[in-house]
Structure 1
Amino acid sequence: MFRQWLALVIIVLVYIPVAIDATVLHVAAPTLSMTLGASGNELLWIIDIYSLVMAGMVLPMGALGDRIGFKRLLLLGSGLFGLASLAAAFAPDAGWLIAARAVLAIGAAMIVPATLAGIRTLFIDARHRNIALGVWAAVGSGGAAFGPLIGGMLLEHFYWGSVFLINVPIVLLVMALSARFVPQQPGRRDQPLNLSHAIMLIVAILLLVYSAKTAMKGLVAPWVIGGAFVTGALLLTMFVRIQLRAAKPMIDMRLFSHRIILSGVVMAMTAMIALVGFELLMAQELQFVHGFTPFEAGKFMLPLMVASGFSGPIAGVLVARLGLRTVATSGMALSALSFLGLSMLDFSTQQWQAWGLMVLLGFSAASALLASTAAIMAAAPKEKAAAAGAIETMAYELGAGLGIAVFGLLLSRSFSASIILPEGLTGDIAARASSSIGEAVKAAQTLTPTLAEATINAARTAFTFSHSVALSSAGMMLLLLAVGMWFSLAKAGKP
């Protein structure tokens, strides 16, 4: 028994940096913008490439674990994660960091199914297995929730690459302990990997996200944007058709024909979009507009992190008593009201109101997440529970990646349209300053003190307005979605 729990500690230990890395860069966005010279568009890719690549790779990596055994997959994924962390920590430019984050995501996509397979294999007793899964879930949600605070603490005292360097000693320790204490698991050589399908899905997602981002910026030729969109849409269509015809598909697409499962996927993605997108916007406003340090920004958002990280047990009781429909729609509606309230606040003078609304947002969005899980797993046939769980994992990761993209696009478009720059700026500097607040701050460093101050003030005013527009737009969309979920889940009772 002791060996089982020791193995659990080992495999969960490496899951901590995987969970943290999903959100650790949120408070680092201003720092990356200044030190690496990352543009607003590059900044979004640096942050959301991790979740988007992980969403496409987690299923085939699970199949790889079945093929070679979870211990080998854990060691392979940990090694890749550690090497990618080193590459990210010493990245000389934004392009290098984006590539390193993509490799980090592949390592993470190996680690996550390896940890789950390890728990299933090590704990035969159902009661012990449920306890172990509870520990795993707490580490995952807690790591993601507290990622911005941990990132802020490191940036307060060290250079930005330290947020990746802390992964290396953890990975080395886990690999050494795993080799010694984690038991071997026999693999199944007949298990198909479907790597080509995963690559097709990732390329389709990235092309569609790229076309949306560049279209909103308006800096790329329309034929390039159209070509990227059409190619991405065709690849996605091909992927769906292949999955429907495959004897052993990577994703069982037929599950999406179940209305409650589809509703659960939409809820999961929406809740993650709300939480992740809001954290990124808040981190930038607190630092660029209100002059917070990264650590101060992380502390300011602590109520949101605590509420989302510890709302699981309460939300579980509510789902059991009130039913999926009530909890899901209430969660989305309260999230919408939180966004609308936050869009009207001044975070410098109305901190208590902001903290109260962040607690409400964290709890309501996390409740919607739990309701989505319950909806998917309750509606899926028993023989397809694993496939439904895989779809849920993909929905979470896609939501995290799309949250950064959606909120980033809303913010970018509104900022460029609303900024009123002072007279006297050259065309090139004016174009840079109107693209994002980070670019405006960098451009101001080349100007005279008077002109620099006027440029920064204009950027801060435009960013505050754009932040309000993004939050209020998201709030209205969530309200409409809550109404849709109320009707969609009409037949969903208590689990």
Structure 2
Amino acid sequence: MFRQWLALVVIVLVYIPVAIDATVLHVAAPTLSMTLGASGNELLWIIDIYSLVMAGMVLPMGALGDRIGFKRLLMIGSSLFGLSSLAAAFAPTAGWLIVARASLAIGAAMIIPATLAGIRTLFADARQRNIALGVWAAVGSGGAAFGPLVGGMLLEHFYWGSVFLINVPIVVLVVMLAARLVPAQQGRPEQPLNMAHALMLIVAVLLLVYSAKTGLKGSVSGWQVAATLAVGAGLLLTFVRIQLRARTPMIDMRLFCHRIILSGVVMAMTAMIALVGFELLMAQELQFVHGFTPFEAGMFMLPVMVASGFSGPIAGVLVGRLGLRIVAAGGMALSAVSFIGLSQLDFSTQQWQAWGLMVLLGFSAASALLASTSAIMAAAPKEKAAAAGAIETMSYELGAGLGIAIFGLLLTRSFSASIELPQGLDSGLTALASSSIGEAVRVAQGLSPSLAQAMLAAAKTAFTTAHSVALGSAGGMLLILAVGIWFSLAKVKQG
């Protein structure tokens, strides 16, 4: 009895850095921009490559665990995660860090199904298994929620690579303990992997995100954007056709034909887009515009983290009493209200109003997440519960990646359109300073004091305007989606 709970501690321990790494770089964005010379576009790829790659790899890695046994998958994934953390910590360039983060995502995609399979194998008793799953879920949501705070604390005292180096001793400890304490599991060599399908999905998503980013930024020609978009869309359509025809598909696409499940997927992605995109935008606003340190920025955002982390039990009661439709549509509508309210605030002088709206955002977005889980799992046939759970996991990760991309695009486009640079800059510096606030700050460092001051003032004003546009636009889109969810769930049985 004691041994199985000790094994649970081991397999959950490695899940902590996996969860933290999804959000730990949000407060590090300004630091990375300055120390690595990362452009605004590179900065978005550094942060969102983790979730996008994990979304495509988590399902085939689960199949790999069935094939080789979860203990072996846990140790391989942990080792890859540790080595990738070292590569990320000492990355000399933005490109290197992007590749290292993609490798981290592959390791994380091994760890997540390995931990879940481990809990399922270790705890045969349903009551104990539910307790263990509750611990696992708390670690995941808590790690992701407090990632920015952890990142801020490390950046306050150490160099930026420390946010990755902390993973290494945890991984070493887990590998050593897992070898002794976690029981081996018999694999099933006949289990298919679908690795090619996963790579096709990842490439399709990355090409579509890349075409959107470059198209809105105008950094490449129109025909290149169109070609990239066409290839990405073609790969995605091919992936869907293959899944529909496959005997053992990676994703059961027919589940998307169920209106309730599709609504749940939309809710999950939207809630993650809202939470993750907001944290990234806020971290940059607080540090670049208001002069906060990374730790102060993490502390300022603590209300949204706490509210999202502790809303689960309350939202569960609300779903039971008010029904799925009211909680789902209401959660998205309240998130929209939060965004629209936050878009009008000055965070230097209206902190209490900001904290109140952040609590509302954290609670409402997390409630929409819980409602999405309820919708997906309740609507799926019992024999397809595992496939529905896999779709839910992918929705979360895709939402996290797309949140960074969408908010980043809104921010970049609005910043470039609203900045009014001082006279006396050559065309090259003007184009660079107009692309993002991080690049504007770097340009200002090489200018005369008076010109640099004017440049920074223009950049801060433009970023504040862009922040209002991004949050206001997101709020409007959430209101429209809330109405759509209200009607799509109209025939769902309440209570």
| TM-score normalised by the chain length of structure 1 | 1.00
One-letter amino acid of the counterpart of residue 320, structure 2: A
CA drift of 1:134 comes to 0.5
Hey, what does 2:291 align to over in structure 1? 291
Matched, 1:156 2:161: no
> In structure 2, how many angstroms separate the alpha carbons of the residues matched to 1:193 and 1:222?
38
CA drift of 1:303 comes to 0.3
Hey, what does 1:383 align to over in structure 2? 383
> In structure 1, how many angstroms separate the alpha carbons of the residues matched to 2:494 and 2:178?
41
Hey, what does 2:191 align to over in structure 1? 191
Hey, what does 2:91 align to over in structure 1? 91
> In structure 2, how many angstroms separate the alpha carbons of the residues matched to 1:48 and 1:420?
29
Hey, what does 2:27 align to over in structure 1? 27
Matched, 1:248 2:248: yes
> In structure 2, how many angstroms separate the alpha carbons of the residues matched to 1:286 and 1:401?
22
Deviations along 1:462-485, one digit per CA (max 9) or x if unpaired, are 000000000000000000000000
> In structure 2, how many angstroms separate the alpha carbons of the residues matched to 1:109 and 1:491?
36
Hey, what does 2:74 align to over in structure 1? 74
Hey, what does 1:269 align to over in structure 2? 269
One-letter amino acid of the counterpart of residue 352, structure 1: W
Matched, 1:474 2:487: no
Hey, what does 1:459 align to over in structure 2? 459
| TM-score normalised by the chain length of structure 2 | 1.00
Matched, 1:327 2:337: no
Deviations along 1:431-484, one digit per CA (max 9) or x if unpaired, are 111000000000001100000000000000000000000000000000000000
Hey, what does 1:172 align to over in structure 2? 172
Hey, what does 2:447 align to over in structure 1? 447
Hey, what does 1:15 align to over in structure 2? 15
Hey, what does 2:40 align to over in structure 1? 40
| Secondary structure in 1 matching 2:493 | coil
Hey, what does 1:59 align to over in structure 2? 59
One-letter amino acid of the counterpart of residue 400, structure 2: A
> In structure 1, how many angstroms separate the alpha carbons of the residues matched to 2:28 and 2:460?
18
Q: CA RMSD in A?
A: 0.5
| Secondary structure in 2 matching 1:272 | helix
| Secondary structure in 1 matching 2:438 | helix
Moved beyond 2 Å, runs of 4+: none
Hey, what does 1:237 align to over in structure 2? 237
> In structure 2, how many angstroms separate the alpha carbons of the residues matched to 1:241 and 1:490?
30
One-letter amino acid of the counterpart of residue 144, structure 1: A
Q: How does 1:93-132 map to 2 (within 5 A)?
A: 93-132=93-132
CA drift of 1:256 comes to 0.2
CA drift of 1:262 comes to 0.2
CA drift of 1:121 comes to 0.5
CA drift of 1:494 comes to 3.8
One-letter amino acid of the counterpart of residue 464, structure 1: T
Deviations along 1:131-153, one digit per CA (max 9) or x if unpaired, are 00000000000000000000000
> In structure 2, how many angstroms separate the alpha carbons of the residues matched to 1:351 and 1:187?
54
| Secondary structure in 2 matching 1:344 | coil
CA drift of 1:321 comes to 1.0
> In structure 1, how many angstroms separate the alpha carbons of the residues matched to 2:42 and 2:487?
39
Q: Which moved more, 1:422-431 or 1:22-31?
A: 422-431
CA drift of 1:222 comes to 1.1
Q: How does 1:338-357 map to 2 (within 5 A)?
A: 338-357=338-357
CA drift of 1:309 comes to 0.7
> In structure 1, how many angstroms separate the alpha carbons of the residues matched to 2:457 and 2:230?
40
CA drift of 1:491 comes to 1.6
> In structure 2, how many angstroms separate the alpha carbons of the residues matched to 1:162 and 1:20?
13
> In structure 2, how many angstroms separate the alpha carbons of the residues matched to 1:328 and 1:378?
14
CA drift of 1:492 comes to 1.7
CA drift of 1:224 comes to 1.1
Hey, what does 1:396 align to over in structure 2? 396
> In structure 1, how many angstroms separate the alpha carbons of the residues matched to 2:107 and 2:494?
37
Deviations along 1:318-350, one digit per CA (max 9) or x if unpaired, are 111111100000000000000000000000000
Deviations along 1:269-324, one digit per CA (max 9) or x if unpaired, are 00000000000000000000000000000000000000001110000111111111
Deviations along 1:218-262, one digit per CA (max 9) or x if unpaired, are 010111111110000000000000000000000000000000000
Hey, what does 2:420 align to over in structure 1? 420
Hey, what does 1:486 align to over in structure 2? 486
Q: Which moved more, 1:39-48 or 1:219-228?
A: 219-228
One-letter amino acid of the counterpart of residue 378, structure 2: A
> In structure 1, how many angstroms separate the alpha carbons of the residues matched to 2:335 and 2:227?
36
> In structure 1, how many angstroms separate the alpha carbons of the residues matched to 2:315 and 2:463?
34
CA drift of 1:493 comes to 2.2
> In structure 2, how many angstroms separate the alpha carbons of the residues matched to 1:494 and 1:11?
38
One-letter amino acid of the counterpart of residue 467, structure 2: H
Q: How does 1:427-438 map to 2 (within 5 A)?
A: 427-438=427-438
> In structure 2, how many angstroms separate the alpha carbons of the residues matched to 1:140 and 1:493?
30
> In structure 2, how many angstroms separate the alpha carbons of the residues matched to 1:101 and 1:208?
19
> In structure 2, how many angstroms separate the alpha carbons of the residues matched to 1:355 and 1:468?
17
CA drift of 1:204 comes to 0.1
Deviations along 1:389-429, one digit per CA (max 9) or x if unpaired, are 00000000000000000000000000000000010111111
| Secondary structure in 1 matching 2:249 | coil
> In structure 2, how many angstroms separate the alpha carbons of the residues matched to 1:324 and 1:235?
35
| Secondary structure in 1 matching 2:429 | helix
Identity of aligned residues (%): 83
Q: Which runs of 5+ in 1 are unaligned?
A: none
